Structure 1
């Protein structure tokens, strides 16, 4: 009896302690991040296997527009926050060659960049297609304006097309290791002549890019990295690198409609789209910081080994929950309760043993 009484008492005390701790921490849970990061959704449409561009809708909350790379046809897809295709838009009279990017302009039109060149820069010209963002999400065929594009310094491969939301000017970033450039289109594209794009800045290897909704930030991403720029007077100034999720083939990026976060996409079947909130110093000029928990430092976060259905790693930890071990936090309160309960359990056990010995 003496050899079993102490463990039994401690076991009971542990149960009480666990319940007490759970109550203490449950009554005041650790503060959640104001803008959580993580996988936003998975593109489940079996037709979309090479999602190469993303553009957040301005008319339909939570919806993003995407498209396949090549060998698909003249189609653009509207995908809702659950990853479901809610509209398929067919571009009338278009036979795309290598569609790589999509961007929304201030005129309410979507601009589709048929600008890829897998021959390493051999096509003498490429094209941009523009059409009004549909007011209704349903399968439909739309009329398209086609713009002919050439570069002042000769043909090149490119995968990023961005429309300045303030001026409507179109920009293209080329895809070249150790020599990529940012190209500026004419002030207004011409549907009849040749639109010559001129190099205005050196940029890293780029697979997609996006302006913030207010036009004060530009993000350019590659397969494994992304860079944030301040955009002012038609020119970029680098603010620094951004943490990006490790993806199977990182191809696309867009700002969310509120400008507070980025969505990162990848090619492949059932490809996930990750949400990565910006911290206060990275936010566009017209976006006020959220009132809530202190900003969380950005940086990569580890994902489970399985990586979910896609086998991919987690996105930046900008939205991960803050540490709850600081003094005065719920976890700290729980530790104190646990300590007190443990000491009471020990005291009770010792008292019981002494009484047993005295009575015997």
Structure 2
């Protein structure tokens, strides 16, 4: 008989997939899972892993540890990724994307919060998705994308990376209407980049955004709504965001600031912060 041990990551993933199957065979289209890990108390972003379908990444916002937390689809935390030498000034969103050139899967962490619009520059930290073989993972090779907005500092909480091009998009939070900025690929890791204003939305208080894995759909989340935009062939991102969106189902969260497509682009996740009278919950919609 073999004494080889099964990875705890694999066990948690299999459990979550089994529960998922039971939920959706019973006809439910939305389900919530309690996130009991005490470290995750101000979740402000969420993204689906490219390397491990079914695994999610999340993080806390301003002043928290410079850590990305690994979750499975039922809210269990099998691992934590520490970004060595990096500060969490005001992390607000997270994304994943394959680099168009080297084809490797990367995680992008947006240190883009700026409540008073006073920061001289903002940052996006990029690192290759690590092997998840232990409960604590230290990442040292981190690329820093420093940038400024072409029209001055902005408070933003929505970051997404286009899987078709590698371009980064940031949507401001407090501007009315919300402003859409683009950092074109390839971004510099040595010089300060300039985020170009390319358009506006018809609303404000945008707190999260995400591309589907194919890049054909875009989610934009405010505190009250989740909008889905369809990106038709040969159309740009801004052209897609100028079309009429579909309003998707959403269980109102007291402090919900995160949204992400699942690994297949068929459903989407949200996660809430811990409030005075509520617990942190992971929601899945399909």
For residues 63-93 of structure 1, the C-alpha deviation after alignment (integer angstroms, 9 at most, x for no partner) is: 1100000221211110112312111111111
Cα distance in 2 between the residues matched to 1:267 and 1:82: 16
The question of 1:273 aligning with 2:282 is answered yes
Equivalent in the alignment of 1:287: none
Equivalent in the alignment of 1:54: 46
Richer in strand (by share):
2
Equivalent in the alignment of 1:117: 114
Cα distance in 2 between the residues matched to 1:137 and 1:101: 25
Would you say the 8 A contact 1:101–1:112 is kept in 2? Answer: yes
Compute the TM-score of the two structures, normalised by the length of structure 2. Answer: 0.81
The question of 1:210 aligning with 2:202 is answered no
Quote how far apart the aligned CAs of 1:218 are: 0.6
Larger Rg: 1
For residues 260-299 of structure 1, the C-alpha deviation after alignment (integer angstroms, 9 at most, x for no partner) is: 111111111641121122xxxxxxxxxxxxxxxxxxxxxx
Equivalent in the alignment of 1:22: none
Q: How many residues align?
A: 245
Equivalent in the alignment of 2:195: 197
Equivalent in the alignment of 1:244: 250
Coordinate RMSD, CA, aligned? 1.7
User: Quick one: structure 1 residues 258 and 87, their matched pair in 2 at CA, closer, same or farther if it must change by over 3 Å?
Assistant: same
Query: Higher relative contact order at CA 8 Å, sep ≥6: structure 1 or structure 2?
Result: 1
1:12-23 equivalence runs, <5 A: none
- Structure 2 gaps of 5+ residues are 1-23, 100-104
Quote how far apart the aligned CAs of 1:150 are: 0.7
For residues 151-201 of structure 1, the C-alpha deviation after alignment (integer angstroms, 9 at most, x for no partner) is: 111101000110111111111011025221111112211001111111112
User: Quick one: structure 1 residues 262 and 131, their matched pair in 2 at CA, closer, same or farther if it must change by over 3 Å?
Assistant: same
Would you say the 8 A contact 1:70–1:98 is kept in 2? Answer: yes
Would you say the 8 A contact 2:74–2:282 is kept in 1? Answer: no
Equivalent in the alignment of 1:6: none
Cα distance in 2 between the residues matched to 1:265 and 1:177: 24
User: Quick one: structure 1 residues 267 and 35, their matched pair in 2 at CA, closer, same or farther if it must change by over 3 Å?
Assistant: same
Would you say the 8 A contact 1:40–1:81 is kept in 2? Answer: no
Q: Which deviates the most, 134-143 or 208-217?
A: 134-143
Quote how far apart the aligned CAs of 1:38 are: 2.2
Compute the TM-score of the two structures, normalised by the length of structure 1. Answer: 0.65
The question of 1:233 aligning with 2:231 is answered no
For residues 206-253 of structure 1, the C-alpha deviation after alignment (integer angstroms, 9 at most, x for no partner) is: 100010010011110011112111233232233332231111111100
1:1-360 equivalence runs, <5 A: 36-107=28-99, 108-119=105-116, 121-138=117-134, 139-142=136-139, 143-203=141-201, 204-205=203-204, 206-231=206-231, 232-235=235-238, 236=240, 237-268=243-274, 270-277=279-286
